[in-house]
Every structure is written in C-alpha cells, then in structure tokens.
Amino acid sequence: MLEIKTFELPPIGTNAYLVLDTETKLCFLFDAPMNVRYPIDNFIVKEGYTLSGLAYTHGHWDHMLDGFKFDTDKYPVFAHHADEMFFNNPATMAAFAMPGMEMNPAPVNHWLSGGEVLDVLGRQVEVRHVPGHSPGSVLFWFVDEAVAITGDVVFKQSIGRTDFPGCSFEQLEKSIKTHVFTLPDNTKLLPGHGPETNVSFEKTNNPFVSP
C-alpha cells in the first residue's frame, strides 16, 4: 500500500513529500527544503523505513537546501537539467533568498528532460516538464494512484511566482493548461506550498489560468 506523508518546513512553509510503501518499508522523498533532514531521519528510524531515492520538483532554494545532507551516492537523485545552475551553484539565488542562509550545492545524479516514466517504489511515475516558475520545473504523476506532486507550478486557487529570473507567466499558464489540466479530473495535486487540491477544482476555481 502506498501512503504519502507531508512535511511542511520553515521559513516559508515549503512542502516535502515522503512517499511510503507500507509493505516493503521503502520510501522516496520529493524535495528537500531546509531543515527537512532531521524530521525525515527521525520518521524513517522510528517507523523502520529505508530511503530509496530523492527527486526535486525544481531547483529554487526553498526546495533543495537540505539536499547536500542526504546520502545521495546510495540512491538515484532526479532533477530537470534546465535548473542545473541552481543545484550546482545555489548562491545565484541569494538575491531572492533570505539573508544568512547556508547555500550548499545539492548533488543530482540523474538529470531529467521531461517525458520520462520512472519506477518509484514499483509504481509508474510520469515526469512532465512544466516551466514558467523555473526553467526546470517538473511534476511527478503517479499514474495509477491519481496523484501528482506539482512543486510551485500550481497551488490551490493560485500559481507559482513568475517574478524571479527565468520565470514567465505566459509559459507557466501554458504549462498548466498543457500538463496539469490534461491530467484526469480526479487527480490529487500536492503543491510545494499550501494545501492539496485537485485538477477538477483548479480548472473551475483557479483565477490565474484562463479557460
């Protein structure tokens, strides 16, 4: 059985998602916000899980600053190649990060282009490239489970910011229409910030995306 545990991390409420296979006791992490390593380790040890991989929805600082703390030589780490500069040199984001943060590169050993189908805990996960909030934003769609981890592409009745370098509202709107709103209506959307939502609700109630 598959379960998903949400970790909401300060300083700006970034969601990390730990996907759990309750039978094999393997788990897989999506995004690594600052200060997530301790609660992840605490949960894994307490519940008897083994971390088998890590994937990033995009390379902005609030989603990757704890990435260097994980044993990334032991399992696959996925991210889109268009955000490679953020993962390799996070100091380039200092202008739109909070002052005084430790910004270490986050190792990635599997670069994505979009269109891949990954095997995550024995489940089929489709990678969709959804630029606009960042050049390398991706969503991860668990096809049979009708769940998509969307990062900062779309939120409940909102969308990701488009005022950072490399952002584009027009591109983001196109990504949402092409790759989010084409998912089945019952697909649960797990965003990088805020509460979960679903495709049907956002099609009708998101004021930032025109019909």
Each residue's pLDDT tens digit, 32-74:
999 999 999 999 999 999 999 999 999 999 999 999 999 888 9
For position 1, what pLDDT does the model report?
Answer: 84
Per-residue model confidence (pLDDT) at position 125: 98
* pTM score of the predicted model: 0.96
Tell me how far apart the alpha carbons of residues 123 and 144 are, in angstroms, rounded to a whole number.
8
Encode the chain (211 residues) as per-residue pLDDT tens digits.
899 999 999 999 999 999 999 999 999 999 999 999 999 999 999 999 999 999 999 999 999 999 999 988 899 999 999 999 999 999 988 777 888 788 999 999 999 999 999 999 999 999 999 999 999 999 999 999 999 999 999 999 999 999 988 899 999 999 999 999 999 999 999 999 999 999 999 999 999 998 7
* End-to-end C-alpha distance for the chain, whole angstroms: 36
Q: Cβ distance 102 to 143 under 8 Å?
A: no
Alpha carbon distance 35, 54 (integer Å): 16
The confidence score (pLDDT) of residue 94 equals 78
Cα separation values, 159 from 162, 184, 192, 202, Å: 9, 19, 10, 10
Full set of structural domains in the chain with CATH: 2-205 (3.60.15.10)
Using alpha carbons only, give the angle 144, 149, 151 rounded to the nearest 5 degrees: 165
Q: Does residue 134 sit in helix, strand or coil?
A: coil
Q: Write the CB contacts of 209 (distance below 8 Å, at least 6 apart in sequence).
A: 154, 159, 173, 176, 177, 181, 202
